[in-house]
């Protein structure tokens, strides 16, 4: 009887549901695709079976047969069991094709009839397994899938190994997984073909653990809890899921500073070894588990006199790792420490903390143990914890400060001074600094349920608003309540109006009103003596003025930098130093900007300011990109993105910059994916300001990828967004040159020239030298499209020289590349060597590939003259002739729409019909047709540095056309 197995896996094993294994999947896919075999190995619970099933499901369709076995420890003593799983259903089909001796031996082994053994029938069995695999593979590729290879019975393992080593070119692939707990996996390769790729599965990152928990539905866990789960699980997916399930189902959460409770399902994994310890050794390990960094000296100070012998016993059982070169004692897995602590009675835990409260050398650690040893309110304990929290804050450990602050509040009597809620609010503010926004928001909401004092309520509301991050629209409704709570107190009103300044940008998109609110907040703070809020308001005012192109921006920055300064504001990502950096960057002072942002990043890291570190890493990457240091920018952008994803802060901004870095020096496909991710984040948050930056990054990546049409769509939307918000400084997003270049590529040089002219007005007024040089580079492309090659080359040469002088390495290389392309249309060598050298210096790999493609393509041909004749215009419909005539005059689509009283979309649709009827491709071809019919050509491109006078239908030189303002949502200025 012929039996073919249906080996299609259920949908739940699709590879896209395997989290955090992208690189591993890529390597395994390549190996399997070329006919090789794969061995997955790693510790228990690391996800080997999940990955195995996903890879098997993915490769099953390409195999004519999939043979499976999954061994268990309890059955590993049964000979030939794995062999029976693999061949039991195909025995009847294959047996007739085997020699008699082999068939008899194999049937005896698989069916249990007879007394087949390796000793008696060894050669026949070995050859039978080899012959069976060859017979099956003669009909098509065979995939052997074996899970838990460590439990394979020895007989089956020996037979499979014999066959695997002799399969040769037979299309048999082996996909297997084996548990390795610190032991070598090499011995398991004996059961696999010689070319098997061994792939180790490592622990998950915190971001991957978070994604796994979300995927399984544990979405209610805060980020701080996820952080603890990651630490306790050691990144093991199975352990993380069990911890997450237990916490999600438990109504009570662990006290601050305590390890996570370990569910029974995981305790069983380690308690068997703990039970082998003596009682005294177990108590010693309990003290070690309660300590932050246990050493033998600490254990002795805590009263564990026989610590050496007891820790040696634990090490012999695989519970501890000791190193003569390192005095610290480490548990072999964090779960062992957590399970030991969770299993201990409460009184023993308190005794361990009491001993450590005097034994620990660090005052912060002593205070923590004192709190965990105490029960109930205790003013002295609370005071020591508050002092320790302040010390942790000064050391740059705001997360520790938040934890200690919550413990201080817990031990503060209800009538204590300061009050418990005041200490909770300080802990919430520390949590904001540490990037633990979920914890901060929960604390503030709890305080608001009972607080009556205006100062406490406003302070709590500020935490709620800050915790909203980019999604300020979600808390827009709280502002009336905050104003009511603030009353007429200038200090409290200053806090509220500072946030209202953000609200005007976020909710209304009104920069002018936002600037007024920020100035009002600064005045109120000065009147109330709140220097910190005054400085933050001035910094924000200067940022809005910078983006508006307001002439007062430099003066406001100087006011924000005046003494006395507040150290928290000085290193804050919305502080005055940040405003100064932005001004330096937009003013082309790259060396000074890099020095400023490097100092800010260093200080943010020292102070543990996570949100500021996310933004400063990103902005340093942006600065390096402008220098043309693409490799360095890639590293910094990746670091910012990892931290943003880990903390849930600034993900849109970090993904945006990572996209630009990838498009400049990495992988363009990844750049496109990151830009779309950034745009999706911004859309979800309702963050129009970062949405414009994300779309600018997407447009740039699309331009680099060669999709000019898509780039135009993305960048036109950026233009609409920024016009609606009143952002006119072209140095902010620097997308105008990319849009102009993309427009030229799709045959819209008229629109490109209009964009250049309008942008140049603002760039000249604001003295944006690099923007002017980039605009000249784009204008040269417009000239080239109109056939003015020599003036275009001269303009590109000038632009390249100015960009080099300003230090914009990548932009300089792009100008050299554009110049080489234009030269390739004339006689003589193309001369791509300079562009290639400059791109190599920048490590701009995507651009280097474009140079290689241009060299391989050879000299470019001149644009062909359109086949249509002037007389063909007479065959157009009335509206089509009017539109074509206006194009001949050099009018843009917007100008045509205004003069004919139709929409821009109607103009675009009409032009598409004109192109089709005339057999041409662009507006340039229409202009060429006009030469015999009209005496005036298209509007001539402007001279270097001199803008064309704007038409009555176009944007005026003193600002963009103000369209209906789109609704704008949460944002923090980039």
* Sheet order of strands, 172-179 included: 65-70, 142-147, 172-179, 38-42, 197-200
Confidence of residue 14 (pLDDT cuts 50, 70, 90): very low
Most confident of 107-116, 134-143, 886-895, 961-970: 134-143
Q: Which residues, in sequence order, are CB contacts of 168 under 8 Å at separation 6+?
A: none
Q: Residue 64 in contact with residue 140, Cβ under 8 Å?
A: yes
Mean per-residue pLDDT, 78-84? 82
Radius of gyration of the chain (CA): 35
**What per-residue confidence (pLDDT) applies to 17?**
55
Say how many residues make up the chain: 974
CA distances from 582 to 92, 337, 616, 619 (A): 76, 47, 11, 9
Most confident of 48-57, 253-262, 511-520, 624-633: 624-633
**What per-residue confidence (pLDDT) applies to 623?**
96
Confidence of residue 708 (pLDDT cuts 50, 70, 90): very high
User: Per-residue pLDDT for 964 more than 50?
Assistant: no
Q: Which two tokens stand for residue 570?
A: 């000085």
pLDDT tens-digit map of 472-496: 667 878 888 999 999 999 999 999 9
Other beta carbons within 10 angstroms of residue 660's beta carbon come to 27
**What per-residue confidence (pLDDT) applies to 247?**
82
Other beta carbons within 10 angstroms of residue 593's beta carbon come to 24
**What per-residue confidence (pLDDT) applies to 5?**
34
Q: Residue 753 in contact with residue 786, Cβ under 8 Å?
A: no
Q: Which residues, in sequence order, are CB contacts of 303 under 8 Å at separation 6+?
A: 355, 359
Sign of dihedral through CA atoms 729, 733, 737, 741? Answer: negative
pLDDT tens-digit map of 492-523: 999 999 999 988 877 677 788 889 999 999 99
Confidence of residue 742 (pLDDT cuts 50, 70, 90): very high
In the block, which residue shows the tokens 């632009």? 799
Separation of alpha carbons 322 and 548, rounded Å: 61
In the block, which residue shows the tokens 């817990």? 410
User: Per-residue pLDDT for 941 more than 80?
Assistant: no
pLDDT tens-digit map of 550-609: 889 889 989 998 999 888 888 888 898 998 998 899 999 999 999 999 999 999 888 888
User: Per-residue pLDDT for 251 more than 90?
Assistant: no
Q: Which residues, in sequence order, are CB contacts of 663 under 8 Å at separation 6+?
A: 671, 672, 697, 700, 701, 704, 705, 846
User: Per-residue pLDDT for 467 more than 60?
Assistant: yes
DSSP of 909-947: HHHHHHHHHHT--SHHHHHHHHTTT-SS-SPPPPPTT-P
pLDDT tens-digit map of 82-130: 888 888 888 888 888 888 888 888 887 777 655 555 556 678 888 988 8
Mean per-residue pLDDT, 30-46? 87
Q: Which two tokens stand for residue 587?
A: 């003013």
Of 111-125, 170-184, 836-850, the one with minimum mean pLDDT is 111-125
Separation of alpha carbons 206 and 440, rounded Å: 20
User: Per-residue pLDDT for 959 more than 50?
Assistant: no
In the block, which residue shows the tokens 């701009």? 844
Question: Mean pLDDT for the chain?
Answer: 82
Of 316-320, 600-604, 708-712, the one with minimum mean pLDDT is 316-320
Closest by CA position to 143, among listed 133, 151, 135: 133
Dihedral (Cα; 939, 943, 944, 947), 10-degree rounding: -60
pLDDT tens-digit map of 747-795: 889 999 999 999 999 999 999 999 999 999 999 999 998 888 889 999 9
Separation of alpha carbons 179 and 45, rounded Å: 9
């Amino acid at each position: 009887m012929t039996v073919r197995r249906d080996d299609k896996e259920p949908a739940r094993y699709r590879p896209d549901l395997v989290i955090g294994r992208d690189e591993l999947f890529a390597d395994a896919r390549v190996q399997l695709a070329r006919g090789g075999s794969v061995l997955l190995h790693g510790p228990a619970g690391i996800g080997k079976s999940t990955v195995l099933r996903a890879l098997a499901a993915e490769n099953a369709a390409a195999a004519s047969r999939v043979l499976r076995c999954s061994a268990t420890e309890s059955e590993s003593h049964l000979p030939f069991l794995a062999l029976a799983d693999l061949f039991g259903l195909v025995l009847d089909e294959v047996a007739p094709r085997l020699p008699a001796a082999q068939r008899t031996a194999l049937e005896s082994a698989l069916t249990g009839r007879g007394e087949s053994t390796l000793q008696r029938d060894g050669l026949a069995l070995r050859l039978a397994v080899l012959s069976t695999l060859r017979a099956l593979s003669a009909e098509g590729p065979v995939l052997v899938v074996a899970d838990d290879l460590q439990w394979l019975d020895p007989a089956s393992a020996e037979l499979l190994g014999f066959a695997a080593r002799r399969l040769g070119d037979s299309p048999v692939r082996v996909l297997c997984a084996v548990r390795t707990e610190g032991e070598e996996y090499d011995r398991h390769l004996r059961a696999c073909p010689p070319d098997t790729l061994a792939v180790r599965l490592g622990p998950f990152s915190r971001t991957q653990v978070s994604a796994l928990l979300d995927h399984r539905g544990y979405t209610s866990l805060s980020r701080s809890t996820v952080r603890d789960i990651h630490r306790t699980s050691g990144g093991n997916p199975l352990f993380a899921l069990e911890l997450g399930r237990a916490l999600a189902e438990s109504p009570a959460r662990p006290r601050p500073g305590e390890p996570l409770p370990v569910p029974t399902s995981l305790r069983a994994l380690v308690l068997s070894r703990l039970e082998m310890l003596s009682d005294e050794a177990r108590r010693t390990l309990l003290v070690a588990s309660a300590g932050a960094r246990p050493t033998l000296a600490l254990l002795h100070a805590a009263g564990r006199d026989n610590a050496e012998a007891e820790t040696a016993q634990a090490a012999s059982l695989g519970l501890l790792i000791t190193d003569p070169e390192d005095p610290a004692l480490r548990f072999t897995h964090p779960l062992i420490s957590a399970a030991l602590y969770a299993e201990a009675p409460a009184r023993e835990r308190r005794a361990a903390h009491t001993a450590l409260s005097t034994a620990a050398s660090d005052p912060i650690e002593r205070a923590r143990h004192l709190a965990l040893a105490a029960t109930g309110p205790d003013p002295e304990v609370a005071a020591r914890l508050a002092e320790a929290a302040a010390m942790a804050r000064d050391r740059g450990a705001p997360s520790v400060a938040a934890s200690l602050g919550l413990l201080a509040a817990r031990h503060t009597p209800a009538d204590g001074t300061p009050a418990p809620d005041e200490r909770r609010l300080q802990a919430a503010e520390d949590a904001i600094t540490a990037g633990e926004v979920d914890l901060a928001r929960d604390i503030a909401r709890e305080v608001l349920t009972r607080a009556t004092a205006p100062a406490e309520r406003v302070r709590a509301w500020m935490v709620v608003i800050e915790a909203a991050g980019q999604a300020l629209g979600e808390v827009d409704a709280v502002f009336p309540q905050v104003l009511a709570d603030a009353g007429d107190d200038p200090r409290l009103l200053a806090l509220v109006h500072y946030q209202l300044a953000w609200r005007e940008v976020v909710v209304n998109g009104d920069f002018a009103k936002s600037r007024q609110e920020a100035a009002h907040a600064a005045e109120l703070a000065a009147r109330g003596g709140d220097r910190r809020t005054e400085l933050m308001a001035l910094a924000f005012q200067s940022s809005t003025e910078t983006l508006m192109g307001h002439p007062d921006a430099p003066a406001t920055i100087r006011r924000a930098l005046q003494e006395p300064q507040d150290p928290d504001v000085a290193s804050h990502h919305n502080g005055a130093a940040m405003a100064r950096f932005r001004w330096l960057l937009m003013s082309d002072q790259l060396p000074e900007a890099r020095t400023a942002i490097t100092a800010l990043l260093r200080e943010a890291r020292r102070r543990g300011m996570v949100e500021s570190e996310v933004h400063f890493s990103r902005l340093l990457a942006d600065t390096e990109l402008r220098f043309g240091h693409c490799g360095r920018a890639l590293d910094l952008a990746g670091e910012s993105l990892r931290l943003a994803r880990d903390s849930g802060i600034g993900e849109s901004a970090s993904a945006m910059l990572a996209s630009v870095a990838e498009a400049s020096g990495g992988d363009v496909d990844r750049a496109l994916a990151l830009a779309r991710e950034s745009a999706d984040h911004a859309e979800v948050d309702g963050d129009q300001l970062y949405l414009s930056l994300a779309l600018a990054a997407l447009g740039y990546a699309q331009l680099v990828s060669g999709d000019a049409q898509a780039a135009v769509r993305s960048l036109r939307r950026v233009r609409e967004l920024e016009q609606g918000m009143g952002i006119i400084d072209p140095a902010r997003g620097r997308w105008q040159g990319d849009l102009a270049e993309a427009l030229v590529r799709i045959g819209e040089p008229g629109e490109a020239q209009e964009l250049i002219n309008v942008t140049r007005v603002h760039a000249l007024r604001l003295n944006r030298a690099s923007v002017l040089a980039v605009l000249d580079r784009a204008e040269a492309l417009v000239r080239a499209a109109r056939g003015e090659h020599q003036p275009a080359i001269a303009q590109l040469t000038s632009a390249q020289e100015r960009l080099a002088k300003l230090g914009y390495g990548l932009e300089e290389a792009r100008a050299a590349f554009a110049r080489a392309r234009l030269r390739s249309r004339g006689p003589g060598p193309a001369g791509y060597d300079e562009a290639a050298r400059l791109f190599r210096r920048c490590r701009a790999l995507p651009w280097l590939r474009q140079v290689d493609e241009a060299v391989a393509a050879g000299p470019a041909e001149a644009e062909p003259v359109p086949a249509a004749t002037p007389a063909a215009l007479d065959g157009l419909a009335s509206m089509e002739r009017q539109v074509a005539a206006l194009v001949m005059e050099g009018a843009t689509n917007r100008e045509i729409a205004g003069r004919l009283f139709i929409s821009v979309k109607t103009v675009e649709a009409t032009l598409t019909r004109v192109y089709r009827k005339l057999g041409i491709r662009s507006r340039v071809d229409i202009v060429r047709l006009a030469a015999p019919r009209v005496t005036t050509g298209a509007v001539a491109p402007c001279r270097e540095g001199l803008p064309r006078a704007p038409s009555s239908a176009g944007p005026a030189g003193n600002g963009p056309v103000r369209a209906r303002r789109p609704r704008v949502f949460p944002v923090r200025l980039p």
